[in-house]
Amino acid sequence: MQALLFILFAGLAIGCAISMVAQRNPLYSAISLIGVFIALACLYVTLAAPFIAAVQVIVYAGAIMVLVVFVIMLLNVEEPERQPMRLRSLVPIAVMLAAVLFAEAVFIIYFVQASPATPTRNVSDVGLTRSIGEGLFTTYLLPFEITSILLLMAIVGAMTLARTSGLLSSRAAVVPGDQVFAKEMLDRQKYVDLLTPVTAHSTEEAKRLLGVEDQDQSPKP
Amino acid sequence: MTPQLSWYLALSAVLFTIGVVGVMIKRNVISMFMCIELMLNAVNLTFVAFSSFFRDLSGQLFVFIVMTVAAAEAAVGLGIIIAIFRNRESLDVDDASTLKL
């Protein structure tokens, strides 16, 4: 029964992985990758690791892949035409090297049998949420805290990469012409009467009113 | 017949190899990114298999941390991809062959 489940989910994982590499459309690749993640989560369950299985589905198949699919749909690149393969002369050498690698793998699988016996599994509490929590907050407290710093760095890095310049985001770029700004952003000492909207007639005037400097001075390509 | 540890290791090696092949043959940045995720998952499978067969908790904790790193990588990596696309109007890695944005 266990072997049947392993073969089922391993086949599913490998099939989805090959499909992911073979697809040309990134969206289909993403969906195949979600299949791989689900199959791996099922394998984790058979390995008596239910917590990791749940986290696999929630974090990988949920959060990360939603982010990837979101970016794919946001960028929405049309299919490029097939380019001719460069370095075509190297193909026979690549095939030969692949054959050598395959021969090595076969050699190792058939002739290296003297591996130590693996211990047998029996019922234990390894993999339960309780034991993982205890390990995470006692023995492995320092890596856990370092992980939080890593996440903070990821947040700051993503924000820095996402916005282009200065106080204003790229969406709220200051454009020439008549434009009304949010009153909270303006200098309150200078404009006591906050009930009337303030109008700027040029980019420089808007920048002066907002008190921001455009950091991105280089012209866009 | 129960699955042996070597079965899981073989499956992990196969998945990792597929990921490496994908990184090498893909031209789309997002596809390469997903292949890297596949490689991370193959290593996670190795960790969980060892942890389960040797009844040691450390492997699963390491998987937890690897998942956190993968999430951070997804956030920053996709930010970089969007920045590249904004500047070059392309997701082809051959178009982004210089470090200058």
CB–CB of A51/B61 below 8 Å? no
Burial B26-39 (b: 16+ CB within 10 A, else e): bebbbbbbbbbbbb
The pTM (predicted TM-score) of the whole model is 0.72
Give strand pairing partners of B92.
Answer: B28
The answer, for B57 touching chain A at a CB cutoff of 8 Å, is: yes
Cross-chain residue pair A157–B76, CB shorter than 8 Å = yes
- Mutation target among B32, B43, B48 for the A interface, most CBs of A within 10 A: B48
d(CA B64, CA B58): 10
The answer, for B49 touching chain A at a CB cutoff of 8 Å, is: yes
Count of alpha carbons within 13 Å of A177, Cβ hemisphere only? 2
* Least CB–CB distance from A67: residue in B60, B63, B78: B78
Pick from A118, A117, A123: which is nearest to A48 by CA? Answer: A123
d(CA A17, CA A34): 10
CB atoms within 10 A of CB B43: 16
pLDDT of residue A128: 80
> At residue A54, does pLDDT exceed 60?
yes
User: What's the gap in Å between the CA of B13 and the closest CA on chain A?
Assistant: 11
pLDDT tier for residue A196 given thresholds of 50, 70 and 90 = low
The answer, for A62 touching chain B at a CB cutoff of 8 Å, is: no
> At residue B99, does pLDDT exceed 80?
no
pLDDT tier for residue B40 given thresholds of 50, 70 and 90 = very high
pLDDT of residue A178: 47
Using the structure block, give the residue that is written with the tokens 């789309």: B28
Residue type for position B40: L
Size of interface A-B (CB pairs under 8 A): 185
> At residue A11, does pLDDT exceed 90?
yes
Residue type for position A157: G
Q: Which of A3-7, A59-63, B93-97 has the lowest mean pLDDT?
A: B93-97
Distances (CA, A) of A14 to A161, B14, B39: 35, 8, 12
CB–CB of A127/B51 below 8 Å? yes
Using the structure block, give the residue that is written with the tokens 């956030």: B75
pLDDT of residue A34: 94
* Ramachandran quadrant class, A127 (left: phi over 0; alpha: psi -120 to 50; beta: rest): left
Planar angle of CA A52, A55, A56, nearest 5 degrees: 80
DSSP tag of A82: P
CA–chain centroid gap for A81, Å, is 27
Cross-chain residue pair B79–A75, CB shorter than 8 Å = no
Two structure tokens written together for B21? 């092949």
Q: Which tens digit of pLDDT belongs to each residue from A95-141? A: 999 999 989 988 888 877 665 555 555 556 676 888 888 888 998 99
> At residue A166, does pLDDT exceed 60?
no
* Least CB–CB distance from A3: residue in B1, B18, B58: B1
* Least CB–CB distance from B68: residue in A77, A151, A158: A151
- Average pLDDT, rounded, for chain A: 78
Please list every residue in chain B whose beta carbon sits closer than 8 Å to the beta carbon of residue A75.
30, 81-82, 85, 91
The answer, for A131 touching chain B at a CB cutoff of 8 Å, is: yes
The yes/no answer to whether this complex scores an ipTM above 0.85 is: yes
